[in-house]
């Protein structure tokens, strides 16, 4: 992580809290020039065939994965991410991301023809073809600083876009290493990296990019949306959440326990998809809490659960826990900083007041509040009692029943007997509702936000005029009314055919 001092990022190791170096911010006045460089590079890039672009993206894939060990080491020193977590959540998933998009992009970018009635539209063809937007402005968070940018960069490049990428100020070295890979594998200035904080992000939007893709906090997302709206720049926002896990009476207990524990504490809970509330059937609640607490206590700080990103995050997490306990919550394990760096142990609580920040506001830390419910309707109501709406997971042996319950929760992603893991998948849409933002990354729906649908109309009829052109005559109205009669359910087919044909013949004779 880092802090900003003037035009410099002071780098801090969250495992110890020690300063370990500095990195220069991109001058705010230079950001517009970087966008212009990307725009020029993008024009040449779009002119290349899709096959050529795919070849370059394959080199990007190979260059990125070849440096996997360097990324893993840097994720540890910059964010304290355990090596096993860094490999699985950042590097392996990135390889799968490239594989997906290279396999499907030709089909996804294929023009879509429109079927036309040859009687109404003789000699005409219409197609809708996706084309690059231009320059994508990418403002990314620190929690997955390698994979998350690539989730947008890969399809954006394949579609013919250029990208200006601002890494989080708390993960600038990961951004710098990605920039090295881009420089070694891509045409110059096709992906430009801008280092810095909110000022550089604002300057990126002001520079007139063609789309902003933002992942981060709710406050940051609102600021991005407001600034983009001033220039009518579209944006996609992936923001925070307070995801619920619902554990039904017939859940497979070992799997539900281990799944929820991983969902709550992976990446030290610093994931918008983390399980931040558990709702468990009252009949199994005592046993479930007991086993979750035992599993949480077994997690090793520093090896399984890394540190929080900075001192402010540590303070926020601990304040939520202290407030909940002061108001009557029961603390079962954890509950205080370790005193080393920004580490906070896996923490489990019950009896958390439903109006407390710990229950209602995003924590983004390794804290798990658990509550019980009497009926499934009550569980759905509790899950939906949140302004956020990213993910829900439901745990049950009855998959159909669990799926039906999950689909009643107002959110973007539903899991049955698992949680959190589909976000990195190129083929799966990822996005939320409510205060969790709008827009999607991944899948054809995410790609649709990176292209513009151009409609192309070709007319080979060669006639002097169209039947619907001037002058407007009674014959035109009769023909049109006949077509409407033929098209509506319950219409008189005989009258429709007669009016269409008589109107058509009369119209052509008069013109």
* Residues tagged active-site: 238, 272
**Contact, 393 vs 246, CB < 8 A?**
yes
Return the closest-CA partner of residue 338 out of 12, 72, 80, 11.
80
Q: What are phi and psi of 479, to 5 degrees?
A: -60, -45
What separation in angstroms does the CA of 56 have from each of 53, 130, 363, 457? Answer: 5, 20, 40, 32
d(CA 394, CA 408): 11
d(CA 478, CA 277): 64
Q: What angle do CA 420, 395, 269 make, to 5 degrees?
A: 35
DSSP letter at 430 equals B
Sheet-wide strand order for 112-114: 112-114, 124-132, 451-459
The total number of residues shown for the chain amounts to 511
Tally of helices (H runs) and strands (E runs) in the chain: 18, 19
Identify the residue whose tokens are 């990213």.
Answer: 390
DSSP letter at 478 equals H
d(CA 296, CA 258): 9
Identify the residue whose tokens are 């002097």.
Answer: 464
């Amino acid at each position: 992580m880092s802090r900003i001092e003037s035009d410099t990022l002071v780098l801090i190791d969250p495992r110890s809290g020690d300063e370990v170096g500095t990195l220069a911010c991109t001058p705010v006045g230079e950001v517009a020039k970087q966008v212009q460089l990307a725009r020029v590079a993008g024009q040449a890039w779009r002119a290349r065939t899709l096959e050529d672009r795919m070849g370059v993206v394959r080199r990007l894939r190979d260059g990125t994965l070849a440096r996997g060990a360097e990324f893993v080491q840097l994720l540890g020193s910059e964010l304290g991410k355990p090596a096993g977590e860094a490999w699985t959540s950042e590097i392996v998933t990135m390889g799968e991301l490239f594989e997906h998009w290279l396999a499907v992009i030709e089909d996804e970018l294929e023009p879509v023809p429109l079927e036309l009635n040859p009687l109404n539209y003789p000699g005409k063809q219409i197609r809708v073809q996706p084309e690059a937007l231009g320059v994508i402005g990418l403002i990314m968070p620190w929690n997955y600083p390698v994979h998350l940018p690539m989730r947008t960069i890969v399809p954006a490049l394949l579609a013919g876009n250029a990208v200006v990428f601002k890494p989080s100020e708390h993960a600038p070295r990961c951004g710098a290493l990605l920039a090295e890979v881009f420089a070694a594998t891509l045409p110059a200035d096709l992906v430009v990296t801008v280092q810095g904080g909110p000022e550089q992000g604002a300057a990126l939007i002001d520079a007139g990019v063609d789309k902003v893709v933002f992942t981060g906090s709710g406050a940051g997302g609102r600021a991005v949306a407001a600034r983009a709206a001033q220039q009518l720049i579209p944006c996609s926002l992936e923001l925070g959440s307070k995801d619920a896990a619902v554990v039904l009476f017939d859940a497979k207990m070992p799997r539900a326990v281990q799944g929820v524990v991983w969902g709550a504490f992976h990446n030290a809970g610093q994931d918008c998809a983390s399980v931040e509330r558990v709702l468990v059937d009252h009949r199994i609640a005592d046993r479930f809490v007991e086993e979750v607490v035992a599993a949480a206590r077994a997690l090793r700080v520093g090896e399984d659960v890394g540190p929080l990103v900075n001192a402010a995050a540590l303070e926020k997490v601990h304040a939520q826990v202290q407030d909940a306990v002061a108001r009557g919550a029961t603390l079962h394990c954890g509950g205080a900083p370790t005193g080393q760096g920004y580490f906070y142990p896996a923490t489990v609580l019950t009896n958390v007041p439903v109006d407390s920040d710990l229950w209602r506001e995003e924590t983004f830390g390794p804290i798990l509040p658990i509550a019980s419910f009497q009926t499934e309707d009550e569980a759905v109501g509790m899950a939906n009692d949140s302004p956020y709406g990213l993910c829900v997971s439901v745990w049950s042996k009855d998959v159909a029943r669990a799926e039906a319950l999950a689909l009643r929760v107002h959110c973007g992603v539903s899991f049955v007997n698992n949680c959190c893991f589909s976000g990195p998948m190129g083929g799966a849409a990822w996005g939320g509702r409510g205060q969790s933002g709008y827009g999607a990354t991944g899948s054809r729906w995410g790609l649709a936000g990176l292209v513009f649908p151009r409609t192309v109309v070709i007319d080979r009829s060669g006639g002097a005029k169209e039947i619907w052109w001037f002058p407007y005559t009674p014959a035109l109205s009769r023909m049109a009314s006949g077509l409407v009669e033929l098209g509506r359910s319950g219409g008189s087919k005989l009258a429709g055919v007669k009016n269409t044909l008589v109107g058509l013949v009369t119209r052509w004779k008069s013109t």
